[in-house]
Amino acid sequence: MTYINNKAVKKNTFDVIVIGSGISGGWAAKEFCDHGLKTLVLERGKDVKHVVDYPTAMMEPWEFEHLGQVPKKLKDESPIASKTYIYKEDSKHFIVKDKEHPYIQEKPFDWIRGYQVGGKSLLWARGTQRWSKYDFDGPARDGFDVHWPIGYEDLAPWYSHVEIFAGISGNKDGLETLPDGEFLKPHEQTCVEKHFSQKMKEHYHGKRPVIIGRCAHLTDPQPIHYEQGRGQCQHRNLCQRGCPYGGYFSSNASTLPWAQRTGNMTMRPNSVVHSIIYDEKTGKASGVNVVDAITKKERKFYAKVIFLNASTINTNLILLNSKSSRFPNGIGNDNEQMGKYIHFHSFITGMSAEYDGMLDSKNEGTRPNGSYIPRFRNVKEQETDFLRGYAAGFSATRSPVTNSEGLGMELKNNLNKTEYGNWHVGSHFMGETVPKETNYVKLDDKQIDAWGVPLLRVNVELDDNDRKMAKDYEEQMTEMLTVAGFKNIKANRKTTWNPGLDIHEMGGVVMGNDPKTSLLNKWNQLHHCKNVFVTDGACMTSNSTQNPSLTYMALTARAANYAVEELKKGNL
Ligand SMILES: Cc1cc2nc3c(=O)[nH]c(=O)nc-3n(C[C@H](O)[C@H](O)[C@H](O)COP(=O)(O)OP(=O)(O)OC[C@H]3O[C@@H](n4cnc5c(N)ncnc54)[C@H](O)[C@@H]3O)c2cc1C
Ligand code: SF4
């Protein structure tokens, strides 16, 4: 990296640098800018402005060249990216092409990435549940991994803080295992979902609730949402294209334009962060090395505080690549645990069934949400021969059956007939994996990418605990679906699913009280370099069973506000 003179240093100096502009980076930017700090957001991908850069948002089905599908040639060029359900003609431009961003799979790992302003916040499915005290306290019981340095009480006010701003719809279910949040009005369950909920309540005496999902949609926008320029969700269910109404929470619709309006944010797209600069004299990080994504020109930017929000695996990569004489193995990595204990959610199975009751009803329209079965296994004590537990998605819909038999007039008549078959019931499994030292990412010694960054080697796999858990889900769900009177019940084990495809990868730079076993303290600061904070999924000590992003948002807002206070005290 070349030396930059003092004038240039001043020009390139900010109060805070945020690396990554996705869900967590957007929150860091918002919090710092609200406090009046000059904040530089470095984003490796292209700019995506709310509404104007959503090219497919208002397209009709017939306007797509391939009727919404992706041609085989493109799929073959991106065999990993094309495995995700979101890789369709209307949204593939927000997903990284495999060939352009290679990595080395020591074991199969489906790494799904969204490199642009807004990151994966444009693509996510918006499921947002709080963790409970059992989720934070549970892993300590196993004696397996590092314990959380914080509990539910520490995060609860920050959950409220982010929920109110983002807008989360949900029902106050009063569950101890899935605390209620600051909800906008809930979506409605279909009649068969209500039937299933009722049957489960009766049969399991309230121990297996089935609730409407909690999700980041403006079902009932409040003044704070209008102030962001967002409006009511129209239930079009085309969210992965980017929502012109701002109906769901994305960085692009919410936190980033908010931060921009304060006048304190500088957004720099096409800026690949290569590494963090460590100042041996002060014992602090002083800035970052950046490579321009297009010109490949190198630059340095400086700040008092650095927030890593590049998403789990990339945050690991940047930190491991930040080498100095003090930190030859990556900044803050004295215990050589960085990159290890990668964990994720296992999605290797699901269920389907049919219901031939309630045939006088059908569901109308679309709903960008489904029902949810919170974890009921091993919550308060160990009950099974596997550790941890699982949550499940659940939905029941009755849509028209298309009859495309016949030719000519017969075909036309068949297509014009609206016939409804049985109700279709589906469930997906979301299992907690146990963080293990043997599930790791590390830098390759020789190979680099187009921006001079070492390629990442990924070694992450499912184990017997995960397989036992999946089997238990299949058995329990079969029992539950049978109790509800459903027929044709099938477990659908996925043979081509690999870790990563859950898109909930976490860990590698975990929080903990002990610097011998963890990398971050309870405020998400590196134990050994206090002005570097990690608040994306890399910081997660365990993964529990909830969709993770709401927890990243709350942790980010909490850590950013702490950093502001520490800056005021002159501690950073
Ligand atoms: C199809 C799909 C469905 C999902 N559903 C849900 C769900 O229902 N609920 C849920 O909680 N989560 C869901 N997720 C996961 C959710 O999207 C992620 O947890 C979340 O986006 C992570 O936030 P982040 O800020 O860590 O990363 P991201 O949102 O990915 O943002 C990271 C940003 O950092 C940038 N970056 C990376 N490396 C560098 C670098 N070296 N220099 C500069 N910038 C860099 C990237 O380009 C990106 O913009 C889903 C994801 C997908 C794709
Ligand atoms: S369902 Fe709601 S959030 Fe999604 S695209 Fe439609 S209006 Fe926007």
Say if 360 falls within a structural domain. Answer: yes
**What's residue 406's pLDDT?**
87
Say if 488 falls within a structural domain. Answer: yes
Say if 109 falls within a structural domain. Answer: yes
Q: Are residues 91 and 117 in the same domain?
A: yes
**Coil/strand/helix, residue 131:** coil
Q: Are residues 269 and 206 in the same domain?
A: no
Number of domains making up the chain:
2
Ligand 1 atom closest to Cα of residue 548: 11
- Could you tell me the CATH number of the domain that includes residue 336? 3.50.50.60
Candidate from 124, 240, 553 with most ligand 1 atoms within 8 A of CB, to mutate = 124
Say if 175 falls within a structural domain. Answer: no
Q: Are residues 505 and 542 in the same domain?
A: yes
Ligand 1 atom closest to Cα of residue 95: 53
Say if 510 falls within a structural domain. Answer: yes
**What's residue 363's pLDDT?**
82
Residue 368 exposure: Cα atoms within 13 Å on the Cβ side: 26
Say if 176 falls within a structural domain. Answer: no
Q: Are residues 197 and 292 in the same domain?
A: no
First to last CA, the chain: 25
Q: Are residues 400 and 470 in the same domain?
A: yes
Determine the distance separating the centroid of ligand 2 and the alpha carbon of 473, expressed in angstroms.
Answer: 31
Instruction: Report the distance separating Cα 454 and Cα 320, nearest Å.
Output: 10
- Cα dihedral 127→346→242→187 (10° resolution): -30
- Beta carbon of 552 within 6 Å of any ligand 1 atom: yes
| Single residue among 498, 523, 551 that ends a domain in this structure | 498
Q: Are residues 224 and 324 in the same domain?
A: yes
Q: Are residues 456 and 493 in the same domain?
A: no
Q: Are residues 72 and 166 in the same domain?
A: yes
List the beta bridge partners of residue 532: 306
Q: pLDDT tens track of the chain, all 572 residues?
A: 444 457 778 889 999 999 999 999 999 999 999 999 999 999 999 999 999 999 999 999 899 999 899 999 999 999 999 999 999 999 999 999 999 999 999 999 999 999 999 999 999 999 999 999 999 998 888 776 689 999 999 999 999 999 999 999 999 999 999 999 999 999 999 999 999 999 999 999 999 999 999 999 999 999 999 999 999 999 988 999 999 999 999 999 999 999 999 999 999 999 999 999 999 999 999 999 999 999 999 999 999 999 999 999 999 999 999 999 999 999 999 999 999 999 999 999 999 999 999 999 988 777 899 999 999 999 999 999 999 999 999 999 998 887 878 889 998 888 888 888 899 999 999 999 999 999 999 999 999 999 999 999 999 999 999 999 999 999 999 999 999 999 999 999 999 999 999 999 999 999 999 999 999 999 999 999 999 999 999 999 999 999 999 999 999 999 999 999 999 999 99
**What's residue 5's pLDDT?**
58
Ligand 1 atom closest to Cα of residue 314: 38
Strands 298-308 and 13-19: parallel
Say if 194 falls within a structural domain. Answer: yes
Q: Are residues 206 and 309 in the same domain?
A: no
Range of the domain at 405: 183-212+348-432+462-498
Ligand 1 atom closest to Cα of residue 113: 30
Which positions ≥6 away from 76 have C-beta within 8 Å?
A: none
Say if 387 falls within a structural domain. Answer: yes
| Sign of the C-alpha dihedral computed for residues 432, 436, 441 and 444 taken in this order | negative
**What's residue 79's pLDDT?**
95
Q: Are residues 372 and 248 in the same domain?
A: no
The 3-state DSSP composition of the chain as helix, strand, coil percent (nearest 5) reads: 25, 20, 50
Instruction: Report the distance separating Cα 432 and Cα 504, nearest Å.
Output: 11
Q: Are residues 166 and 45 in the same domain?
A: yes
Q: Are residues 13 and 125 in the same domain?
A: yes
Residue nearest to atom 24 of ligand 1 (CA): 311
